[in-house]
Amino acid sequence: PLAGPVESKNEAAMSELVPEPRQKPVVPMKPMGINASLLGYIGIDTIIEQMRKKTMKTGFDFNIMVVGQSGLGKSTLVNTLFKSQVSRKSSGWNREEKIPKTVEIKAIGHVIEEGGVKMKLTVIDTPGFGDQINNENCWEPIEKYINEQYEKFLKEEVNIARKKRIPDTRVHCCLYFISPTGHSLRPLDLEFMKHLSKVVNIIPVIAKADTMTLEEKTEFKQRVRKELEVNGIEFYPQKEFDEDLEDKTENDKIRQESMPFAVVGSDKEYQVNGKRVLGRKTPWGIIEVENLNHCEFALLRDFVIRTHLQDLKEVTHNIHYETYRAKRLNDNGGLPPMTVETEENHESNL
């Protein structure tokens, strides 16, 4: 008999706690002729597909520079990265040629297509770097080349009748090859990275990592990271350019664990357990290039091509190129640099 009043009391208490649902505002009548489905799905998400189609039609540029002493396997590594003969070796460069007395810069272009996507890949090689007895300021021609590409892009950009799509020769990524000494970085390594990290995305790699034991490799990687930090050298991905927490977490892991990537390159195939693998044959077995237990080549490839390629291009455009552009315009009193076209127009007006 008490159940009724208790329940009613509870109901009264609940009605005090829970506010009455607010009445929905009256929706004004939609204009005649508008399809009801328009008020639902708009289709903004199709922009991703539109961008994909456009990129597939036009393709994109990617310019990668390799720097390091002769004999560190730069050409082989680039061939391995892109699974095709894209290095100077396959472009008429002769092994018997003497080491150039100064740094020569050779750019070799290729078009690589995969899954309908075209990439115009340019490999910029720097034979002669660090091979002389006196290597003082041997990084200067490389810095000059990088800045020349920014200048070329800037001049195209400020043209009155500029091209719809400016050819992009700017260096998006510089792989810097460190000799696998197991000791410390050479003064030349530090000097190069100190100067060039301000103008280009540098990714340090330890070449021919199969010459070191696992313990030596781990110690050397830690030592290199420490030396770069002590000398204030920022390599890619730079901390200050992490855009959000997810980027920061992912990139911190790369900076603290993977860098510099200890790699082995090879464009030779071998049979291992019934599978064809890229590798280097040694008296004690085959070092598999894509096996993470053997080296970090797969990590480097995934980093440069599969996760950070677009970001490398964006940092080049938004940070390094913008820095160059701002300085150039500032030095020129805020005026864009005169191009050949504007100079000719200027002369004809006089």
Q: pLDDT tens digits, residue range 165-175?
A: 889 999 999 99
**Section 92-117 average pLDDT:** 75
Conformational region of residue 137, where left means phi above 0, alpha means psi within -120 to 50, and beta covers everything else: left
More confident site: 183 or 338: 183
pTM above 0.75, yes or no: yes
Distance CA 185, CA 189 (A): 6
> Which pLDDT value is given to residue 154?
93
Average pLDDT, the chain: 82
Q: How far apart are the first and last CA of the chain?
A: 110
Using a pLDDT cut of 90, give the percent of the chain over it.
Answer: 37
* Amino acid, single-letter form, for residue 8: S
Paired with 278 in beta bridges are: 269
pLDDT of amino acid 91: 47
Distance in angstroms (rounded) separating the CA atoms of residues 33 and 36: 9
Residues contacting 339, CB < 8 A, separation 6+: 155, 158, 159
- Which range, of 12-16, 25-29, 335-339, averages the lowest pLDDT? 12-16
Say whether pLDDT at 20 is over 60: no
Q: 285: which strand partners?
A: 282
Yes or no: domain 58-89+98-265+295-332 corresponds to CATH 3.40.50.300:
yes
Residue 196's pLDDT is 95
3-state SS string for the chain = CCHHHHHHHHHHHHHHHCCCCCCCCCCCCCCCCCCHHHHCCCCCCHHHHHHHHHHHHHCEEEEEEEECCCCCCHHHHHHHHCCCCCCHHHHCCCCCCCCCCCCCCEEEEEEEEECCEEEEEEEEECCCCCCCCCCCCCCHHHHHHHHHHHHHHHHHHCCCCCCCCCCCCCCCEEEEEECCCCCCCCHHHHHHHHHHCCCCCEEEEECCHHHCCHHHHHHHHHHHHHHHHHCCCCCCCCHHHCCCHHHHHHHHHHHHHHCCEECCCCCCEEEECCEEEEEEEECCEEEECCCCCCCCHHHHHHHHHHHCHHHHHHHHHHHHHHHHHHHHHHHCCCCCCCCHHHHHHHHHHC
* Mean pLDDT on 37-63: 83
**pLDDT per position as a tens digit, 184-239:** 899 999 999 999 999 999 999 999 888 888 899 999 999 999 999 999 999 999 98
User: Of the spans 9-13, 152-156, 343-347, which averages the highest pLDDT?
Assistant: 152-156
Check residues 235 and 291 and name the one with the higher pLDDT.
Answer: 235
